[in-house]
A = this chain, B = another copy of it.
Amino acid sequence: MSTKFFKILHKSKKSKARLGKIHTYHGTIITPSFVPCATKGTLKGILPSLLKEIKIQVAFVNTYHLVMSPGTSVIKKSGGIHAFSKLNIPLMSDSGGFQVFSLAENNRKKNTRRADVRGDEQPLVIKISKDGVTFRSTFKGETLIFTPEKSIEYQIDIGSDIMMAFDECTYYPATYKYAKEAMERTHKWLLRCIKKKKELKEKDYKRYLYGIIQGGTHKDLRNISSEFVSSQKTDGVAIGGVSVHETKKEMREQVKWASKYLPKEKPVHLLGVGQLDDILDLVAYGIDTFDCVEPTRLARVGKVFQKNKSNVLKTRSWNAIDIKNNDYRHDLSPLDKNCNCYVCTNFTKAYIHHLFKQKELIGYSLLTYHNLKFMEDFFERIREKIASDRL
């Protein structure tokens, strides 16, 4: 109650970039910040006891995945996702809405309703209506309904600190007509989410709600959505649907359009964007937090993020080498000679190459650790630059 949810510490004189502080029951996030994905309640390959030394401030969990397994009842019973997973840092959750997109796209592509669908990310949508979304689960094939109210209930049970309103993330490219309908649905759903959250009144600790800006690739829809969502009584705002299949140029445009209407006093999250060059450009539009699976997913296939020279911000792109490459078989240098993380100060490329070739479990952990530390270092530099008005 006493501490404000979001506080701006410094505004850059050069852009809309700002240094901020998000306060939650489970800790404080200094922004801009990266939000690594702990989709199913685990940061893949990383024991929670390591979060502190990697300096991870916040993570992202996925409501759809957690509803499917282990189910929200056991998470609630155990005192929430923090207690359940021991991810003792602020956690954000999505609404399940992103799945609406994959469902719709899946449906559109296949143009068929298969009786049972396997696979993790693409359940079969049965119906999108003004009430919500009905779909068939990919876990056990059962029929499920996600509505704005259900989504909020689920997220409160999960116990994330920052919740997203239920939205429809339209497929790309969506027609103007469809994008408008989906956006209007998303706005109505936002009002229902706000209402539901008020009714439920979480008792143990305060949750915060972000509305989601949609509108596809259409400028006027993005403007309308940004203005509408920003004007609602939410704790923060998120921009959705920008990293679906758009080009980088389109994605940046969509953020730029929205940025004009973004509330200056609320934190802004960008959903699903995490490439370094994008982050650098979009921080300048006032984005405070970014979630993305890329650094962790790439780590698990052997891709190593490396700083350019000694300063990662000197150039806009990162190098990524593939540790599985035979060039590294006898390479006794660290993953990144400019990195001082546990992995780079202890292990050689040759050792991690060997672990990957032999599919040894700690190979995935070590590379994930390094890539996450890389991201944290990257954001630390960004914050330094903002503090000194150089971004």
Instruction: Identify the A interface with B (CB < 8 A).
Output: 40-42, 44-49, 69-70, 73-74, 77-78, 84-86, 329-330, 332, 342, 346-348, 350-351, 353-355, 357-358, 360-362, 364-366
Given contacts A70-B353, A77-B332, A332-B78, contact A40 B347 (CB under 8 A): no
- Report the nearest B residue to A86, measured CB to CB: B346
Q: How far is the CB of A361 from chain B (nearest CB, A)?
A: 4
Task: Indicate which residue in B78, B346, B350, B366 contacts A74 across the interface (CB closer than 8 Å).
Answer: B350
Q: Tell me if A77 and B330 are in contact (CB < 8 A).
A: yes
Q: Assembly of this chain: how many copies?
A: 2
9 contacts between A and B (CB under 8 A): A40-B354, A40-B360, A46-B362, A47-B366, A70-B354, A74-B350, A78-B332, A85-B351, A361-B364
Q: Tell me if B330 and A73 are in contact (CB < 8 A).
A: yes
Complex CA gap A354/B353 in Å reads 30
Q: How far is the CB of A190 from chain B (nearest CB, A)?
A: 31
| Residues on the B chain within 8 Å of A365, using CB | 47, 361, 365
| Residues on the B chain within 8 Å of A348, using CB | 78, 84
Q: How far is the CB of A321 from chain B (nearest CB, A)?
A: 18
- Report the nearest B residue to A342, measured CB to CB: B49
Given contacts A69-B357, A365-B361, contact A329 B49 (CB under 8 A): no
Q: How far is the CB of A38 from chain B (nearest CB, A)?
A: 10
Complex CA gap A205/B95 in Å reads 59
Closest 8 A/B residue pairs (Cβ): A70-B354, A45-B361, A74-B330, A42-B360, A86-B346, A74-B350, A78-B332, A40-B358
| Residues on the B chain within 8 Å of A329, using CB | 70, 74
Task: Indicate which residue in B46, B78, B351, B354 contacts A351 across the interface (CB closer than 8 Å).
Answer: B78
